[in-house]
Amino acid sequence: MNRPVPRRGMVLYAISATCVAIGALLWVRDLTSAPPRVYGAYLAADGYTSSAWRVWSRAVSEGRLGLYLIVAGLVLAVAARLFFTRRD
């Protein structure tokens, strides 16, 4: 008989899903963002970019951080699944 997943399992799955969702958004943001064009001394992106803030350090791009979060979320979900199925 299948028992319901304990509350701790649901919390781990929720954290995993959140990591994957944020990672996917960062990865897509990095894919769709174009480098700003410079016209002389005027940065063309200053006038119309909706979000120019950096999420992470300059050493790690947002796309790579997104992929790291996706992988971390998937690993957490698999680990939670293995842990809770083993306890049954």
Contact 19, 76 (CB under 8 A): yes
The predicted-structure confidence for 9-61, as pLDDT tens digits, reads as follows 888 999 999 999 999 998 998 888 766 555 555 555 555 555 556 666 777 88
Amino acid at 39: Y
Say how far apart CA 44 and CA 36 lie, in whole Å.
7
Q: State pTM to two decimals.
A: 0.68
Q: How many CB atoms lie within 10 A of CB 32?
A: 7
